[in-house]
Chain A
């Protein structure tokens, strides 16, 4: 009989993840926001397509538009990730957890496996779903895209990856801050307040700097065609992965060093 290992701790964390109602609620909200709001946006555009100005029609991207719900769903995955660790602190169960799994790096690895796999499966499914539903709403009136076209499948799949990475980012912030409210408000600030702060910068810096914003990286990842104001999808994914990995590394180091 052996003891602690990545598979055994993953199994343990999977039981914890699926046995609280907030996980299911969070996932349902992710599905509802991505697909539901995506459909709502698509319907609104179809209805106003005739009145839209020519430039807007010219730059219209049926792919990223159908994935517009991710702009809201990112908060749901962020909260799922945050809660996965901060609920352990708020309930005090972190001490039971760490007594059972004293190898704290192993604990973080196991939680990441559970979080990434679950979010990735759900987020990819809802992004493909939102895309297909969006195109069927556009059909006949608004230009549509097909997954077979170059760059479209990539944009849809990166949409799912974006939601997943933001979930992990929420988790990493939770590791660092240990309180749900602090972690979630920091997460929200990164996505919503930082872009507003950017507006205070001189105009010449703005376009250069705002490309680095996580929300802008998300837009870049979900664009099927190259955009001048954004990074290429490859660069955007790399940058977002670096942000998330750095935050996770800081959080893990703190967990290992701090008293529980």
Chain B
């Protein structure tokens, strides 16, 4: 389990992470979401002991990263896929990492196979595509067979097949009981691969919960289509619901599907469609982080 406890990190006057606290449970994939500049990478760097927290702390299974005798066997991380010496071969890069933590050479060949880059293992990393570099970064993260895995924007540069592969990999790792913590600014991706989601903006925790919980909290509406939309609209508005009328039917918010159904029955209006419109995770995300977008585009109303 990964615990971030009242973490604050300043760079000069800029507060990257501000009193952030959350837990990441094992056995599931936890998405770490936020707009660019929200503090996701900084948080991950503090977890790995690369940056020193200004205040607060981070612990992995109750211990600090610096206390692990062989950190790669406890925590695997993909931070920056291009962060490999371009002149070194993929295999030598992994061999060097393995040697420091006393991980066997056979394990190096195993992760090369597992990530599908065994055929280019002896090629210089400088010639790798971003997708291949991502796979090498993932191989490095898996090297020590760690219980906790961190991935910073892992789908960047992957082709659709690669994205599917990585989604399956996360699910498998979580099923094996590992803690899988994946950052992304793409809500749609997380909706497909994460069980739990931590949303941050401007270094603050905005929301935390399962994908279902997050979308349920968001203001959902109900789409209704009936034989007599006009009568239903009048009656709904009398009850305080807001109704948007379109050619296809009514978009009702402020009343649940069953309330609308009961009302239609009492009015004797036949309903042909009654569909709760669940807010997409994308919409929830936009709503949640609307105030926290640091570099948002300036809107011009015309």
Please, which residues of chain B bring their CB within 8 A of the CB of A259?
Answer: 45, 50-52
Closest CB of chain B to A234's CB: distance in Å? 38
Segment of B21-29, B98-106, B180-188, B233-241 engaged in the interface with chain A? B98-106
Given contacts A20-B88, A87-B85, A91-B84, contact A102 B66 (CB under 8 A): yes
Check if B96 is an interface residue, CB within 8 A of chain A. yes
B102 pairs with A8, CB closer than 8 A: yes
Check if A27 is an interface residue, CB within 8 A of chain B. no
Segment of A10-18, A63-71, A137-145 engaged in the interface with chain B? A10-18
Please, which residues of chain B bring their CB within 8 A of the CB of A22?
Answer: 87
A6-53 contacts to B, CB under 8 A, are: 8-9, 11-13, 15-16, 19-22
Check if A238 is an interface residue, CB within 8 A of chain B. no
B101-131 contacts to A, CB under 8 A, are: 101-102
Check if A260 is an interface residue, CB within 8 A of chain B. yes
Check if A98 is an interface residue, CB within 8 A of chain B. yes
B63-78 contacts to A, CB under 8 A, are: 65-66, 68-73, 75, 77
Check if A201 is an interface residue, CB within 8 A of chain B. no
- Provide a sorted-by-A list of 15 A–B residue pairs whose CB atoms are within 8 angstroms: A3-B68, A3-B71, A3-B73, A13-B96, A15-B92, A15-B96, A87-B85, A91-B84, A91-B85, A91-B86, A96-B79, A96-B83, A98-B49, A99-B48, A102-B48
**Interface range for A:** 20 to 34
- Which B residue's beta carbon lies closest to that of A92? B83
Check if A103 is an interface residue, CB within 8 A of chain B. yes
B99 pairs with A15, CB closer than 8 A: yes
Contact with A along B138-182 (1 / 0, CB 8 A): 001000000000000000000000000000000000000000000
Check if A88 is an interface residue, CB within 8 A of chain B. yes
- A115 vs B69: C-alpha distance in the bound complex, in angstroms? 25
Given contacts A15-B92, A20-B88, A103-B66, contact A95 B100 (CB under 8 A): no
Contacts from B to A (Cβ < 8 Å): 45, 48-52, 65-66, 68-73, 75, 77, 79-80, 82-89, 92-93, 95-102, 140
Check if A121 is an interface residue, CB within 8 A of chain B. no
- A1 vs B51: C-alpha distance in the bound complex, in angstroms? 28
Check if A204 is an interface residue, CB within 8 A of chain B. no
Please, which residues of chain B bring their CB within 8 A of the CB of A260?
Answer: 45, 50-51
* Interface of chain A, main secondary structure: helix
Check if A147 is an interface residue, CB within 8 A of chain B. no
B96 pairs with A102, CB closer than 8 A: no
Given contacts A2-B69, A3-B73, contact A100 B97 (CB under 8 A): yes
A102 pairs with B49, CB closer than 8 A: yes
User: Besides the contacts A3-B101, A4-B70, what 6 more A-B pairs have beta carbons closer than 8 Å?
Assistant: A9-B100, A16-B96, A88-B85, A93-B93, A99-B75, A100-B100
A176-226 contacts to B, CB under 8 A, are: none
Given contacts A3-B70, A259-B51, contact A19 B96 (CB under 8 A): yes
B82 pairs with A100, CB closer than 8 A: no
- A13 vs B93: C-alpha distance in the bound complex, in angstroms? 10
- A9 vs B72: C-alpha distance in the bound complex, in angstroms? 13
- A54 vs B71: C-alpha distance in the bound complex, in angstroms? 68
A20 pairs with B50, CB closer than 8 A: no
- Which A residue's beta carbon lies closest to that of B104? A1
- A235 vs B65: C-alpha distance in the bound complex, in angstroms? 44
Check if A249 is an interface residue, CB within 8 A of chain B. no
Given contacts A8-B102, A15-B92, A16-B96, contact A99 B49 (CB under 8 A): yes
Closest CB of chain B to A150's CB: distance in Å? 45
Please, which residues of chain A bring their CB within 8 A of the CB of B75?
Answer: 99
- A131 vs B80: C-alpha distance in the bound complex, in angstroms? 48
- A259 vs B51: C-alpha distance in the bound complex, in angstroms? 5
Closest CB of chain B to A9's CB: distance in Å? 5
- A99 vs B69: C-alpha distance in the bound complex, in angstroms? 12
Given contacts A96-B79, A259-B52, contact A102 B84 (CB under 8 A): no
Check if A157 is an interface residue, CB within 8 A of chain B. no
A20 pairs with B85, CB closer than 8 A: yes
Closest CB of chain A to B124's CB: distance in Å? 9
A19 pairs with B50, CB closer than 8 A: no
- A19 vs B66: C-alpha distance in the bound complex, in angstroms? 28
State which of B45, B95, B100 has its C-beta within 8 Å of the C-beta of A101: B100
- Which B residue's beta carbon lies closest to that of A107? B100
- Which A residue's beta carbon lies closest to that of B89? A19
- Which B residue's beta carbon lies closest to that of A87? B85
Closest 4 CB pairs of A and B: A3-B70, A92-B83, A3-B69, A12-B100
State which of A21, A101, A103 has its C-beta within 8 Å of the C-beta of B87: A21
Please, which residues of chain B bring their CB within 8 A of the CB of A96?
Answer: 79, 83-84, 97, 140
- Which B residue's beta carbon lies closest to that of A23? B87
B50 pairs with A93, CB closer than 8 A: no
Closest CB of chain A to B155's CB: distance in Å? 19
State which of A11, A21, A99 has its C-beta within 8 Å of the C-beta of B50: A99
Please, which residues of chain B bring their CB within 8 A of the CB of A20?
Answer: 85, 87-88
State which of B49, B85, B89, B95 has its C-beta within 8 Å of the C-beta of A93: B85
